[in-house]
Chain A
Amino acid sequence: AQSVTQLDSQVPVFEEAPVELRCNYSSSVSVYLFWYVQYPNQGLQLLLKYLSGSTLVKGINGFEAEFNKSQTSFHLRKPSVHISDTAEYFCAVRPTNFGNEKLTFGTGTRLTIIP
């Protein structure tokens, strides 16, 4: 089984400042990793994903994340945030083997941008 921990339930950040949203996972098998964003009263939209290869992945809206296998982490970063980045962010993992595509989600981090 897998588990995902997002330690920060809420993160306030001033506009144009950098931000890092933390994600740690636990799994006995290799996993794919995902970050999703959810705007109020909407569904989830994929920001980025790590399947294999380079551990630094770039996503939409200027976000990037780095996969660190030794620390079992997949932290999300953005060098300069905007008001429009206010949303809830979810980290998720799933095993790499075919036939087991279920996602396990973290509890989410609410990012609030302060003007």
Chain B
Amino acid sequence: DGGITQSPKYLFRKEGQNVTLSCEQNLNHDAMYWYRQDPGQGLRLIYYSQIVNDFQKGDIAEGYSVSREKKESFPLTVTSAQKNPTAFYLCASQDREAYNEQFFGPGTRLTVL
């Protein structure tokens, strides 16, 4: 089955630690996105990548980093510089040429202890 996987589902980390969230897709989509979701604030774009080896900052990139070495993978690192990292993180992908919607993964809930 084609789709987007995110791992782990739940993640706990101590303050001051970096942590990497995984996002993999087998839909052969060029574009991938990372969103952060907080209650009452909808989804906010962290980073996006329209092609391998290229990515752009979204609206709230501070304290986050990404890489796009393979078309299928777009990992997100939450660094210790992110002041309030506890949130639900969603990864999405899109077939740019199809003018299609974004497809979302199941999400990772990160809690900083």
Contacts and interface: CB of A to CB of B under 8 A. Distances in A.
A68 B11 CA distance: 42
A102 B48 contact: yes
Contacts of A114: none
Interface stretch (B13-21, B35-43, B65-73, B74-82): B35-43
Q: How large is the interface on B (under 10, 10 to 19, 20 to 34, 35 or more residues)?
A: 20 to 34
Interface of B: 4, 6, 31, 33, 40-45, 48, 50, 58, 88, 90, 92, 94, 96, 99, 101-107, 109
Interface of A: 9, 32, 34, 36, 41-46, 49, 51, 90, 96, 98, 101-103, 105-108
Nearest to A49: B101
B45 A43 contact: no
Contacts of A9: 40
Contact of A32 (B48, B58, B99, B107): B99
A105 B90 CA distance: 13
Contacts of B48: 102
17 contacts: A32-B99, A34-B101, A36-B104, A42-B107, A43-B106, A44-B92, A45-B104, A90-B43, A101-B94, A102-B33, A102-B45, A105-B42, A105-B43, A105-B44, A106-B42, A107-B41, A108-B42
